[in-house]
Amino acid sequence: MTFNNGVEMPAFGLGVFQSSKEDTAAAVRTALEAGYGLIDTAAGYQNEAEVGKGIRDSSVARSEIFITTKLRTRDFGYESALRAFDASLTELGVDVVDLYLLHWPVPRIFENTVASWRACERFLAEGRARAIGVCNFTPAQLSTLMEQTEVVPALNQIELHPFFVQADHSETHRKLGIVTQAWSPIGGIQRYRGDGSAERDPLRHPVIAELARKYGKTPAQVVLRWQLDLGHSPIPKSINPQRILENADIFDFALLPEEVAAVSALDTGHRGGPDPNTHGPT
């Protein structure tokens, strides 16, 4: 995928949210050596150092790896963002990150969100971040940010899966030239916080199960392919080597337009994660 500043990002990557320090380095190395080009971490995940180790332990050159990390909200503010960015580079063991994101908007003190974005603009101008973006911003929050700053975000990373499609967000991003990236892309957030029923698990829905049978794929592969067919960048999380390989085996088929629409029609409108309109510092 090509950002609005011309920087290219692999469309598919590995997320390491909730990956333990003990498991992260091995998962990153496995993913990179399996052909993943993108690794997504965050200061708030407390595993940046392990991501850096996995990168160094792999046989893949740094120039072939796209690294994303994020500024946690407790470090919002111009000066504090400068310090936090330096700390992330140190933890990762790199001089440049490919993409630096604001992890959440903070609506009740949005001036700190704006100040943090201005720090990101500085990192971009200095060449220490090749691109900058945001996570979990609503269309209204994007508009407010852009009214007060200079650089249009390259990407917005949001909760997005068959049970929470957020089509209005994707359409806003398309109009603004912003890449849509999906966290919890197969709906894991619904399973983790649900009651274990099929109604909370996209992978057990009959529509997806039938497509999996048709294409000889797993339900997870069908959902990840759906993300790509919609033009989204999915970053599934796993520490299981077999699952890491399986998740990436989605480039030998594509869903028909009516099948993409059928999966999108599963949208319930119910998010599994925090609400960006009420989220506070963490």
Whether residue 166 has pLDDT greater than 60: yes
pLDDT tens per residue across span 219-243: 999 999 999 999 999 999 999 999 9
The per-residue pLDDT for 200 is 76
Determine contact, residues 235/183, Cβ cutoff 8 Å: yes
pLDDT confidence band for 197 (50 / 70 / 90): low
240-246, Cβ contacts within 8 angstroms, sequence gap of 24 or more: 241/26, 241/27, 241/30, 244/14, 244/27, 244/30, 244/31, 244/34, 244/36, 245/30, 245/34, 246/218, 246/220, 246/221
Entry pTM: 0.95
Paired tokens of 214: 């048709």
Annotated active-site residue in 36, 45, 78, 192: 45
Measure the CA–CA gap between 269 and 99, rounded to whole angstroms.
Answer: 29
Residue 192 known to be catalytic = no
- Helices 21-33 and 48-57: angle between axes, nearest 10 degrees: 40
Determine contact, residues 235/27, Cβ cutoff 8 Å: no
pLDDT tens per residue across span 7-21: 999 999 999 998 888
The per-residue pLDDT for 31 is 97
